[in-house]
Each structure stands twice: as C-alpha cells, then as structure tokens.
Amino acid sequence: MNRRSYVWPALMLFATVFYHSNYVRAQTESTSEQYPAVVHLTAEQDHQRMMDLLHIDSIRRGRDGSPDSPYAANYDESKANPYPSLPNPLILNNGKSVKTAKVWWSERRPEIVEAFDREIYGRVPASTPKVTWEVISTKNTTYGTTPVVTKSLLGHVDNSSYPLIHVDIQLELTTPANAKGRVPVIMELSFPNSRPARAGVPAPPPPPPGPSWQQQLLDRGWGYATLIPVSIQADNGTGLTEGIIGLCNKGQPRKLDDWGALRAWAWGASRALDYFETDSSVDARQVGIEGHSRYGKAALVTMAYDQRFAIAYISSSGEAGAKLSRRNWGEVVENVAGTSEYHWMAGNFLKYAGPLHWTDLPVDAHELVALCAPRPVFIGGGATQGDGWADARGTFMAEVAAGPVYRLLGKHDLGTTEFPAMETPLINGDLAFRQHSGGHTPVPNWPTFITFASRYLHAPAAGA
Ligand code: GCU
C-alpha cells in the first residue's frame, strides 16, 4: 500500500469516532435537558431561598402554644383585634362598589382570586397533568349494620413530562349498597394515620360515644369518601420539589407565586370529584368536602376554588384557613410563614411576617369564605380550652364579614353578628357556625353539620 491508501480509511475512522462521540454527548445532554434531576433542599434551605427571592433578611417569630413562653399566643379578647377594619369584599380595586351579582362574578371575584393566587396560596399551573383513576378493589361489606360498597382507588398522575416523579392519589369511596340511585357523598381530607402531635397543645380528646361520622352519613342514605392529601403533596417544605408541585416544576424549587400544599391538596380533591362524575353510584352535583385543622384549611381552599363542590364542613381551620389573619389570637401569620408550615402557602406569603404586617394582606379569610358563595358553608371549632390555637371566634368573624357577598347573591348570611354561646348552632342561613366545648376535633360538630347539610343534599327517593 502506498501512503495515499491510508488517508481515506483514516479519515473515515476519524469521522466515525467524531460523529459518535458527538452523538453520545448530544443524547446525554438531551436526556439531562429533558429530565433535570430532582433538586433536594431541606425545608430550611428552601425557606431561605424564598426569603432571598423576596429580598428579606428575617421574618418575625411565631407564637408558642405554651403559656409560659415569652412568645405565648394571645388569648385575651381585649388584645385580639389590632386591625379591626377588613378589606371590603364588595369594593373593586378601583374603589367602586359592587352592586350587582354580575359585577361580583365578572370583576370582583376574579380580583380576589388573583390576590389569593399571587400572595397567599399560590397559583396552580396553567396546565396540570391528567389523572387516570383506577379502581383497585371493590368490596361488598357492611359498615356497622349498613350494607355498603367500598371502592379503593388510585389516581395515577401522568408523569410523561417528567418521569422522575410519580404521584398516585389515594381515594376510598363508600356508598350504601341498597341505594335507590346516585347518592350524595361527603369527602374528607384525611390524616393517613393518627393526628400529628402539636407542641404545647393537648392531644385530641377521645371520640365521644355515638355513631361515627361515616355511620351518620350512611344513616341519611349518603356515602362518604376519604382522600389522602399527602399522596398528592407531602406535608413539608423539603417535599416541594416532589409530589404534584415538583412534578409540574420538573423537580425544581418553586417560584414566589407557585402553589403551595394547600392548593395542591385542593387540586387533588378536584380530581377526586372528576372521578365521582364518572361513578354511577355518586351524585356528583351533591358532593361535599370536609377537613379538620390543616385539612380544614385545604377543604376551604377546595370549596373556594372549585365551584362544583356543593357544601363544606370546615373544622378548626384556624390561621391560613377561615380565621381572620388580622386577628391576634392563637396561631398567627408568623407561625404559618415559618419553616414548618410555609410549604402550605405561596412563597410571597412570607413577606407578611416581615417586613410587611397582617394589615398589609390584600385579602383576608372572610374573602376566602366569600369565594364559596352562594354555596353553603358550615364552620366549626372548639373551645379556647383545647382549641384556642384555631380561634373559633376569628373564624366566626370571617363568616360574618363574608355575609354581604352571600346577601348580594340572594342567599342568607349567618343571621347575627354576635358570637353565639357555646354549642349554639347557627344553621338557618347559607353560612353556618357552631363552637363545641371539646378540644381540637371535628367530631362534636358532625351531627350539626349533617342537619344543616340535609337542607341541601338529598338521598334518592325510594323507587326513584
Ligand atoms: C398545627 C398548625 C395548625 C394546624 C394544625 C393541625 O398546630 O399550627 O395551623 O391546623 O397543626 O393541622 O393539626
């Protein structure tokens, strides 16, 4: 072979190696570009990241449950209302007042939604992945003495846009086996196991004797469902790059107005309602939502944002729920802005714990209740002794202040502005309230809620 004869093979070899190495690099790059790794931050790191984005150095410290702490929560009514004037739900941002239902729906309500989205609970992404519901099992059994059908379901969230995160929503539905048609259903946002302990706060009292809430619903010919919020989104800051929020963000940390866990849980509740619309045992126009404590907050957010829910029972929802944030009682804004609870909210919420204050909040809890109008809402809470942290009176005050919106829409408000005596049900309007004498538990108010709900929800008539 002469020298020349080496040139072409050598060139070919070089070209092949060059091509392949580039090909491999391009492939690797496109995989990592398409699926960046999940970012893992501690809640403290993620919280600091939010503060940096907000350009704030520090936020004020929250209150303590323990009365001996120098930061003890306030339980003195004379100090409870430092900012008695609330944003008016019926005044537009341009200062004009809302006089008609039309202006409420087309202008004012969207303004309030926008404020909650941007500053308080965060925005749900414009497009969220599809959920495919799978019935894992269907069991014919009895609850107490009632024959029932119980379905266990998983809502598989489409993760084709980011296969590194899996979300399977856990839902269980129980309906009376002998129903004469589609039944009303109350869905609870449920704690998976036992309730988390709260520092300085007594454990929930044992349930009083009497039928469980499930039995009480079945006795009316209604069904019940339980949804597990933490199967949608973890209940901590470190989980914000996973779950549905992480899936939508492809494993990256949130922007300041991205949704927090409360809206993620509410989104999951809406997906459960999508399923009920396809299940012939359920009357999807008669589905209610119930939650207690952090899930009371989530139930209220669900009801406010998804107008398909027919009724709500909001139990001991406290701060970031139905309690006015302008109230100085029990838990306050600063607690929710702290590292163990900020993940419920949008990052923007942190700034109201410093440098801004409660009075700077563009909206308050009465406007979240108002977003539920004209649909019926029952709000409950316990006595200060045992449930003071959740501020039953502060939630009552929010309901009173939501009244004008209900009236504008032709509905009835609470019927009073006076805080009622313990265990006095206010259930004649479309807004309802009762404070029970027990501690931090939804149990004592279930019978009153069901009496209230029975004005709106109806089991199928025999022979229907
Ligand atoms: C904590 C938190 C409350 C919340 C409660 C619960 O106490 O501060 O906001 O409602 O946990 O969910 O039990």
pLDDT in tens, 34-58: 899 999 999 999 999 999 999 999 9
- Local confidence band at 192 (pLDDT 50, 70, 90 cut-offs): confident
Lookup result for tokens 């809302």: 98
CB-hemisphere CA count at 13 Å for 436? 19
Model confidence at 17: pLDDT above 90: no
For 211, residues 6+ apart whose C-beta sits below 8 A from its C-beta are 144, 219
98-113 per-position pLDDT tens digit: 999 999 999 999 999 9
Atom of ligand 1 nearest to the CA of 335: 8
Report whether pLDDT(463) > 90.
no
pLDDT > 70 fraction of the chain, expressed in percent and rounded: 89
* pLDDT at residue 198 is higher than 60: no
- Cβ of 198 closer than 6 Å to ligand 1, yes or no, is yes
319 CB within 6 A, ligand 1: yes
Contact 190, 227 (CB under 8 A): yes
Average pLDDT for 443-463: 95
- Quote the pLDDT of residue 440: 97
Please give the single-letter amino acid code of residue 66. S
Cβ–ligand 1 distance for 293 under 6 Å, the answer yes
Flag the least confident range among 19-33, 61-75, 194-208, 349-363: 19-33
Kindly state if the Cβ of 174 falls inside 6 Å of ligand 1: no
Domain made up of 77-453: CATH architecture: 3-Layer(aba) Sandwich (3.40)
* pLDDT for residue 25: 44
What is the CB neighbour count within 10 angstroms for residue 415? Answer: 16
Whether the upstream peptide bond of residue 374 has omega within 30° of 0, thus cis, is yes
Question: pLDDT tens digits for 53-100?
Answer: 999 999 999 999 999 999 999 999 999 999 999 999 999 999 999 999
- The helix or strand, by DSSP H or E, that contains position 218, with its residue range, turns out to be helix 213-219
Mean pLDDT over residues 241-261, rounded? 98
The SS3 assignment for 252 reads coil
The pLDDT, as a whole number, for residue 24 is 40
CA quadruple 100, 105, 106, 109: dihedral sign: positive
Give start and end residues of each alpha helix (H) in 206-260. 213-219, 243-248
Q: Residue type for 206, please?
A: P
Sign of CA dihedral 266, 270, 271, 275: positive
Q: How confident is the model at residue 348 (pLDDT cuts 50, 70, 90)?
A: very high
Q: In this structure, what is the dihedral angle of CA atoms 402, 407, 412, 416, given to the nearest 10 degrees?
A: 60
Residue 456 has φ and ψ, to the nearest 5°, of -115, -35
How does the average pLDDT of the chain come out, rounded?
93
Tell me, what's the pLDDT at 229? 98
pLDDT given at position 44: 98
Q: Which single residue is written with the structure tokens 């009801």?
A: 303
Residues 415-426 have pLDDT tens digits of 999 999 999 999
Closest CA to ligand 1's atom 1:
198
Beta carbon of 172 within 6 Å of any ligand 1 atom: no
Confidence of residue 7 (pLDDT cuts 50, 70, 90): low
Query: Are residues 396 and 425 in contact, defined by beta-carbon separation less than 8 angstroms?
Result: no
Distance 294 CA to ligand 1 centre (A): 5
Reported confidence tier of residue 28, pLDDT bands at 50, 70, 90: very low
Distances (CA, A) of 73 to 68, 393, 441: 10, 15, 20
Backbone angles phi, psi at 57, to 5 degrees: -85, -35
Ligand 1 in contact with 46 (CB < 6 A)?
no
What is the whole-number distance in angstroms between the Cα of residue 255 and the centre of ligand 1?
A: 25
| Total residues belonging to the chain | 464
